């Protein structure tokens, strides 16, 4: 059944090997950009573990267990209390928690601890997904650590995040990390066509989706396109014009109230642009970059970019994310991020923001 999931063949191979050897870790961390199928893969693992008629250690996809693990019963109202509880599938052994109001709560982790200690009600394994694991705060992370320390053999925890750098080292060290890659535009395109989207639209969406199937499917490309335009301006100012005034304007815009909820998304977008330019500068083919539709602009940047700096910028963005956990002043930190990055270009040095 893994073949029905799009992309990430390396991840499929790794998970398959673990299933075959009966060595699936009790705690795993699925990392990689939003919308590339981490949750679907986690559900597929839950199905493989509970399938009644597995085929070569994979889920059959048609038995009653497989069918009931297909979908999560999300609450229908945004303000429902159920968001703070485990959200179950139609199978009594498989559920997930999400971060209500952007924080994963202690009570949710205690519920998981309690449920993880039960033996499976019906299937062979209990599987709990912790979505947006980067939204754990100190208290809920500590509550989760208790379960991670010795998960019962029949229970599996799968943490999911696009921002692993935000997790405490104590959590990271107890989970087996599985890294997902952004999807290639061609992989997204063929999936869209399979889902009855006409070829031309599929092509445009796949190329503008920045490697994210979720984005290509949701069709909310307007927001993404404007985010990407803004972040491309930042990269241009850094690499081509070294325009500090533009950088400060961009930093300011990033902190404007209307974009408050987009702050992290915008950083993500900036990161994919830097990665693409970096890869192009190393001679990688344009078909392998995420923002393939911007390859002309990115090639220009790639000619001027110093590969060492690109790596450092990504580390600096990760640093900034870590600082955001402790609620630093975003405005000050973003200013300093962009200026340090700019200083890096001018002096060819490797400064750190602290
Ligand atoms: Zn099955």
Q: Is the pLDDT of residue 272 over 60?
A: yes
What is the pLDDT at residue 6? 84
Average pLDDT, the chain: 87
pLDDT band at 338 (very low <50, low <70, confident <90, very high): confident
What is the pLDDT at residue 18? 95
Distance 49 CA to ligand 1 centre (A): 9
Compare 282 and 218 and report the one with higher pLDDT. Answer: 282
Q: Is the pLDDT of residue 343 over 80?
A: no
- As beta bridge partners, residue 178 has 30
Distance 174 CA to ligand 1 centre (A): 30
pLDDT in tens, 56-115: 999 999 999 999 998 889 998 887 788 999 999 999 999 999 998 889 999 999 999 999
Answer whether 50's CB lies under 8 Å from 94's CB: yes
Distance 26 CA to ligand 1 centre (A): 21
Distance 213 CA to ligand 1 centre (A): 25
Q: Is the pLDDT of residue 327 over 80?
A: no
Mean pLDDT over 184-200 rounds to: 86
Mean pLDDT over 270-279 rounds to: 91
Distance 335 CA to ligand 1 centre (A): 52
Distance 89 CA to ligand 1 centre (A): 15
Give Cα separations from 238 to 243, 263, 268, 343 (angstroms): 7, 19, 17, 9
pLDDT band at 317 (very low <50, low <70, confident <90, very high): confident
Answer whether 171's CB lies under 8 Å from 187's CB: no
What is the pLDDT at residue 248? 85
Mean pLDDT over 108-136 rounds to: 96
Share of the chain above pLDDT 70, in %: 94
Q: Is the pLDDT of residue 50 over 50?
A: yes
Distance 62 CA to ligand 1 centre (A): 5
Distance 91 CA to ligand 1 centre (A): 12
Residue tagged 């839950």 (tokens):
46
What is the pLDDT at residue 257? 67
Compare 346 and 91 and report the one with higher pLDDT. Answer: 91
What is the pLDDT at residue 328? 66
Distance 59 CA to ligand 1 centre (A): 5
With a CB cutoff of 8 Å and minimum separation 6, the contacts of 299 are 280, 286
Distance 190 CA to ligand 1 centre (A): 26
Distance 6 CA to ligand 1 centre (A): 20
Residue tagged 């971060």 (tokens):
99
Residue 130, φ and ψ in degrees, nearest 5: -115, 100
What is the pLDDT at residue 23? 93
The pTM assigned to this predicted structure is 0.73
Answer whether 313's CB lies under 8 Å from 350's CB: no
What is the longest distance spanned by two Cα atoms in the chain? 63
What is the pLDDT at residue 354? 40
Distance 48 CA to ligand 1 centre (A): 7
DSSP assignment letter at 157: E
Q: Is the pLDDT of residue 190 over 50?
A: yes
Distance 219 CA to ligand 1 centre (A): 32
Distance 54 CA to ligand 1 centre (A): 6
pLDDT band at 143 (very low <50, low <70, confident <90, very high): very high
DSSP assignment letter at 241: I
Answer whether 116's CB lies under 8 Å from 89's CB: no
Report helix, strand or coil for 174.
coil
Residue 159, φ and ψ in degrees, nearest 5: -85, 140
pLDDT band at 333 (very low <50, low <70, confident <90, very high): confident
Distance 50 CA to ligand 1 centre (A): 7
Of the candidate ranges 38-42, 248-252, 292-296, 322-326, the one whose mean pLDDT is the lowest? 322-326
Distance 39 CA to ligand 1 centre (A): 18
Q: Is the pLDDT of residue 184 over 50?
A: yes
Distance 280 CA to ligand 1 centre (A): 43
Name the strands in the sheet holding 27-31, side by side, starting at the edge strand that comes first in the sequence.
87-88, 94-97, 126-130, 155-161, 27-31, 176-179
Q: Is the pLDDT of residue 353 over 50?
A: no
For the chain, where are the E strands, in sequence order?
27-31, 87-88, 94-97, 126-130, 155-161, 176-179
Distance 92 CA to ligand 1 centre (A): 15
What is the pLDDT at residue 298? 95
pLDDT in tens, 233-260: 999 988 888 888 888 888 888 877 677 6
Half-sphere exposure of 263 (CA within 13 A, CB side): 16
Mean pLDDT over 261-277 rounds to: 86
Distance 123 CA to ligand 1 centre (A): 11
What is the pLDDT at residue 200? 76
Distance 109 CA to ligand 1 centre (A): 29
């Amino acid at each position: 059944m893994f073949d029905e999931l799009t992309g990430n063949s390396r991840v499929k191979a790794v998970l398959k090997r673990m299933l075959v050897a009966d060595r699936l870790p009790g705690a795993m961390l699925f990392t990689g950009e939003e919308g590339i199928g981490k949750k679907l893969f986690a559900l597929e693992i839950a199905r493989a573990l509970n399938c009644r008629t597995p085929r070569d250690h994979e889920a059959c996809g048609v038995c009653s267990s497989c069918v009931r693990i297909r979908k999560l019963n999300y609450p229908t109202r945004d303000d429902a209390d159920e968001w703070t509880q485990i959200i179950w599938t139609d199978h009594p052994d498989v559920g997930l928690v999400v971060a209500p109001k952007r924080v994963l709560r202690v009570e949710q982790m205690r519920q998981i601890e309690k449920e993880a200690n039960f033996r499976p009600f019906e299937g062979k394994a209990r599987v709990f997904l912790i979505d947006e694991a980067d939204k754990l705060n100190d208290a809920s992370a500590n509550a989760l650590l208790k379960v991670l320390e010795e998960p019962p053999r029949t229970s599996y925890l799968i943490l999911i995040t696009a921002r692993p750098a935000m997790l405490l080292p104590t959590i990271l060290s107890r989970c087996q990390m599985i890294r997902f890659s952004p999807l290639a535009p061609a992989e997204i395109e063929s999936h869209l066509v399979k889902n009855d989207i006409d070829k031309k639209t599929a092509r445009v969406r796949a190329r503008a989706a920045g490697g994210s199937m979720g984005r290509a499917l949701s069709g909310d490309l307007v927001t993404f396109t404007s985010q990407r335009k803004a972040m491309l301006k930042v990269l241009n100012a850094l690499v081509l014009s070294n325009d500090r005034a533009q950088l400060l304007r961009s930093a300011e815009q990033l902190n404007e109230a209307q974009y408050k909820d987009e702050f992290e998304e915008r950083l993500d977008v900036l990161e994919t642009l830097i990665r693409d330019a970096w890869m192009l500068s190393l001679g990688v083919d344009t078909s392998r970059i995420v923002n393939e539709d911007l390859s002309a602009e990115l090639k220009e940047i790639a000619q001027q970019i110093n590969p060492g700096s690109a790596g450092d910028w990504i580390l600096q963005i990760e640093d900034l994310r870590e600082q955001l956990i402790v609620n630093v002043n975003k405005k000050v930190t973003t200013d300093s991020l962009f200026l340090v990055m700019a200083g890096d270009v001018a002096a060819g040095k490797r400064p750190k923001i602290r």
